[in-house]
């Protein structure tokens, strides 16, 4: 990744240092892995109270239709993603993926509909490629990356109490609603969503306001800063994909068990069926099935089974049927948790498999996702 001096800094870099963040390279940025309390304590704090995450490394981009009609931007974006964007109402958000001609996933993203434009949030490691992909393929739109905006995530069962103390409208929002809120004088685009499985909000705001707003949120005694380590274990328990690990250009949305994000209108027989890269492959998989599926995994013992660990159908480790893509210790379950791809005949919930860990077999059971129930405010 290079020396620390080569790493980019988010607008909250000084705050991370002030709070003792252990900084590590991530997607070209210096990001906090953890703070003094450690990953386990941070993880539990989000599940029980509320945590504040800096996710300003992620890419934000605005898409404006040249015609002035936001539906034209939605139709244009549908050329690149399998979700129904046209039906997305203003002030609502939807999850989708950029696909390639073989049906693989170039990136996964969030799309926010506003009255006159679309706002997209994409992954940090992919953002420059995503911006170029949009500019190359949406000639009928203005594609505007927003490097002057920061992104915070306030996550946990007490998130509403904290945010509504700044703006009462926060309490009226439901999961995937988007609202303009004022936090300590800063106008923020806020969605009720997140990457933890908990109720919470994602807050897009001007980079110049980010440090001040974050410090104001931290004035609430129940709010603690949370690093990348707990972010990973939280999203893994919640069954949420990490791009580059659980999904990539070789995995399709159907193999990744993300077909829920492909609405009826984009499927065979729908009003705007297909029309996105790899549609012929993905639509056929929706109808005929796939040879492998992303599943939840619960290894026995205490040691985590990590990314790349092979999965076998037999204790002799002879019949390989899959591979782990994400694994960690799950503080909520107080046990190892993992996700991976498994050959479809072995992907049923409750199927007993064996993961290979340092040359030995670890009994592992296929489990329903999410591994910890989601608590979104629907």
What is the reported pTM? 0.97
Which CATH architecture best describes the domain 259-367?
Answer: Beta Barrel (2.40)
Q: Which two tokens stand for residue 114?
A: 């506003």
| 3 state DSSP class of 188 | strand
pLDDT above 70 covers a percentage of the chain that reads: 99
Q: For residue 253, what pLDDT band results from cuts at 50, 70 and 90?
A: very high
| 3 state DSSP class of 141 | strand
Counted residue by residue, the chain has a size of: 378
Give the C-alpha distances (Å, rounded to integers) separating 153 from 131, 227, 317: 23, 11, 42
Strand pairing category for 29-34 and 22-26 = antiparallel
d(CA 315, CA 6): 46
Work out the average pLDDT over 191-214: 98
Q: Where in the chain is the domain with CATH 2.40.30.110?
A: 259-367
With 80 as the cut, is the pLDDT of residue 185 above it? yes
Burial tier of 5 (Cβ tally within 10 Å: 0-12, 13-18, 19+) = exposed
Work out the average pLDDT over 350-369: 97
d(CA 308, CA 318): 17
With 80 as the cut, is the pLDDT of residue 4 above it? no
Burial tier of 12 (Cβ tally within 10 Å: 0-12, 13-18, 19+) = buried
For the segment 156-169, what is each residue's pLDDT rounded down to a tens digit?
999 999 999 999 99
Q: Find where tokens 């949420």 sit.
A: 240
**In the chain, where do the E strands start and end?**
22-26, 29-34, 50-54, 59-65, 92-99, 105-113, 118-122, 141-145, 149-155, 178-183, 186-191, 200-206, 223-225, 292-299, 310-312, 320-330, 335-343, 352-357, 360-367
Q: Where in the chain is the domain with CATH 3.30.1360.120?
A: 4-56+148-237
> Is the CB of residue 69 less than 8 Å from the CB of residue 264?
no
Place domain 59-145 in its CATH homologous superfamily.
Answer: Aminomethyltransferase beta-barrel domains (3.30.70.1400)
Work out the average pLDDT over 43-53: 98
Residue 187 has what pLDDT? 98
Residue 5 has what pLDDT? 77
CATH for 4-56+148-237 is 3.30.1360.120
d(CA 46, CA 48): 5
Strand pairing category for 50-54 and 149-155 = antiparallel
């Amino acid at each position: 990744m290079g020396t620390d001096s080569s790493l980019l800094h988010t607008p909250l870099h000084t705050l991370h240092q002030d709070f003792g963040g252990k900084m590590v390279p991530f997607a070209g940025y210096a990001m906090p892995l953890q703070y003094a309390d450690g990953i386990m304590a941070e993880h539990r704090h989000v599940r029980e109270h509320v945590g504040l995450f800096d996710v300003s490394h992620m890419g934000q981009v605005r898409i404006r239709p040249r015609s002035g009609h936001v539906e034209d931007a939605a139709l244009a974006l549908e050329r690149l993603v399998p979700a129904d964007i046209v039906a997305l109402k203003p002030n609502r958000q939807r999850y989708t993926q950029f696909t390639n001609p073989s049906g693989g996933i170039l990136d996964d993203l969030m799309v926010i509909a506003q009255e006159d434009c679309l706002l997209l949030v994409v992954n940090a490691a992919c953002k420059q490629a995503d911006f170029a992909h949009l500019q190359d393929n949406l000639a009928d739109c203005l594609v505007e990356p927003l490097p002057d905006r920061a992104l915070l995530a306030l996550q946990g069962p007490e998130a509403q109490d904290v945010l509504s103390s700044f703006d009462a409208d926060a309490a009226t929002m439901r999961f995937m609603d988007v609202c303009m809120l004022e936090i300590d004088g800063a106008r923020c685009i806020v969605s009720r969503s997140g990457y933890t499985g908990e109720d919470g909000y994602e807050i897009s705001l001007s980079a110049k306001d980010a440090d001040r707003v974050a410090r104001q949120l931290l004035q609430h005694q129940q709010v603690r800063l949370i690093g990348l380590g707990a972010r990973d274990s939280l999203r893994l328990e919640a069954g949420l994909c990490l791009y580059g690990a659980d999904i990539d250009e070789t995995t399709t949305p159907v193999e990744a068990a993300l077909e829920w994000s492909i609405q009826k209108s984009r499927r065979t027989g729908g009003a705007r069926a297909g029309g996105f890269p790899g549609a012929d492959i993905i639509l056929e998989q929706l109808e005929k099935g796939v040879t492998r599926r992303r599943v939840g995994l619960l290894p026995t013992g205490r040691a985590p089974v990590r990314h790349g660990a092979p999965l076998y159908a037999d204790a002799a480790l002879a019949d390989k049927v899959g591979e782990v893509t994400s694994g960690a210790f799950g503080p909520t379950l107080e046990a190892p948790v993992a996700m991976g791809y498994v050959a479809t005949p072995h992907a049923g919930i409750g199927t007993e498999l064996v993961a290979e860990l340092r040359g030995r077999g670890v009994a592992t059971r296929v489990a329903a996702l999410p591994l910890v129930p989601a608590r979104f405010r629907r």
